[in-house]
Every structure is written in structure tokens, then in C-alpha cells.
Amino acid sequence: MSHKHETWGWMLACDFFFAGMGAAMLLYAGIAELFMLNGNLSTLGLFAAPIFIAAGAGLLVLELGRPLQALRVFINPKAILTFGAWNMSIAIVAGLLLATSWVDVFPWFGIVGLRKVLAIICIISGFIVATYPGVLLARHKSRPFWNGPGMMVIFLTSSLLTGISAFIICGLISEASIIVYTVFPNLAAALCAFQLIVWVGYLWIKSTGTTEREANAVKRWTSGNFAGPFKYGFVLVGTIVPLILYLVPNAIFIEVAGFLAILGGLLMRNLVVYAGQDRTWLPGEEKYRAALPCGDEAFLKKVWTKQI
């Protein structure tokens, strides 16, 4: 008998990463379309956004298992996974339509009214998808590090930062709007600073103002096995260094900052997902699980031998 699946792995973390980054890019693209004279921030970025979300959705299907039955996730209106799956699908379709509306080979090219409608859909669905991973984790009351509304702020902030960094990198590869080179670096620096503040506040609240189990979970991030990757990988290399580089008026520094911020977002999501290994057991659950057979016990082998 196999034990119940207790934790998620790197595929879910990468799903959160790609989906959040792509969703934030759609959010920025929709805002630009509504409020800029030329709403095309970057044609490459417009196409990359729904592709990133689709990549995240593919990883989610593989992580959940039974990919041939993946369509079942769309049929339970009460499940939060169903809510997320529908919004990811809407974001992918709206993002692709918005991106192709800027390419003259498509029949809907240049239809301004259509682009405005798609922009509104991209803003709404992009915001939901960018926030959704934090909502999903925050609802797990048995996972002391995840539980609470702070996780939603953490994931939304990281999505906004990685999304804006992705647009900046797209500007390095192909032509982009002047806003990508002028406004976005300053906004990205502000998001880096806010991300740092949010994480300091989150760890402080978890360690001082909540339960003992949450305080113990924080110790893995401050002095345990997560401390090195978190402090030096995410905080220093993925947040503080990009914050400084984004403020330097140099194209190379800004591009490097974009890459580091994206890598920091990927590392953070992996650490947060694996932090779910710490959980609060229900009364009697640990004792019950300990009594379950693993499948290779002598009495089970004896039974199967007699049947054969």
C-alpha cells in the first residue's frame, strides 16, 4: 500500500513561477493597452506571457499526475484548483489574442475595440493568476509556514517583479517600448525593496506573533537548511543586488538585474513549496499513518505467495 501524497515538488514550484511571471506580464500589457497611446510594450513579451502560463499549466498537470484525466480539474466549481485552471485558460487565450492583434497577418490586426476588451480580460485574469498560488498555499491550515494572508502578498509581489523583469529582458532581445527602458527599471527597483520588506515582516510575524509550530518553521529559513539559499540566494542575489543594479542608468546592469530577479523568484518558489514538508498533524493522524503497511511487510508477502 502506498502512502498518501503529502508534499509537492519542483514542478509545482516551476508552475507557480512561470504562471505568475506570465500573468504579471499580461497585467502590464493590459494596463499599457488601456492607458498608453501605443499599448505594445513588446511584441516578444506579449507572446511570451501566455506561453509562460501554458508552460506552468503543463507542469501542474504533470505534478498532479494522471495527465490523461487533466480535464477533470475543470468540472468541480467548488474546488480552488478548478478556479485556477479556468482563469489560467482564460489568460492564455486572451493573451494570445492580444499578442496576435499586433501582427498584421492575423485578420483581427488593428481592431482597437477588440484589443481594449482583451486588455480588460488580461488585467483581471492576470491579477488572479498572479495571486492564485499564494491563495492556494495560504488555505492550507496544516502547513504552518504557508498559512495566512501574507503568502498572497509574497507571491503577488514576486510575480509583479519577475513579470516586469521579463519585459526588460525581452527588450534586450527585440525592440520594445521606451517605457520598458525608462519607467520599468525604477518600478522594478521599488518592487525589490517592497519584496524585501514583505519578507522581513512575514518572518518576523511568523516567529513572534503566531503559533509555536509557525515559529519553528521560520527557523529553517533563518538558521536551518533553508537559511543559505534564502539569505544569499534569494535575499542577496535575487533581491538586494537587482535593487541596486536597477537604479544604475546602464543597460547592461539593468539586464543583469532582470536575470537575477527572475532567478530569485524561481528560487523563492522552490523554497516555499518545499517548506510545505513541515505540517501540523491532526489528532491521532500520525499514529494512524505509522500503523499503515508500506507494501513490503512480511505478512503481505506471505499472503501474496499463498495466492500465487
CB 235 within 8 A of CB 224: no
- Helix pair angle (251-274, 10-35), 10° resolution: 130
- For the chain, report the end-to-end CA distance as a whole number of angstroms: 18
Which helix (H) or strand (E) element contains residue 56?
Answer: helix 43-64
* pLDDT in the model for residue 287: 64
CB 59 within 8 A of CB 133: no
* 74: Cα within 13 Å, side-chain hemisphere: 10
3-state helix, strand, coil in the chain (%, to 5): 75, 0, 25
Domains observed in the chain: 10-280 (1.20.1630.10)
Q: Kindly state the cell numbers that stand for 27.
A: 497585467
Residues 53 and 160: their CA atoms lie apart, in Å, by 14
Does this model's pTM top 0.75? My answer is yes
CB 72 within 8 A of CB 22: no
* pLDDT in the model for residue 59: 82
* pLDDT in the model for residue 4: 46
CB 272 within 8 A of CB 10: no
Residues 266 and 15: their CA atoms lie apart, in Å, by 10
If the chain, 308 residues long, is cut into consecutive pieces of 10 residues, what is the mean pLDDT of each piece? 56 91 96 86 93 89 68 71 85 95 89 93 95 86 84 95 95 86 94 96 88 85 91 96 95 94 96 78 59 61 51
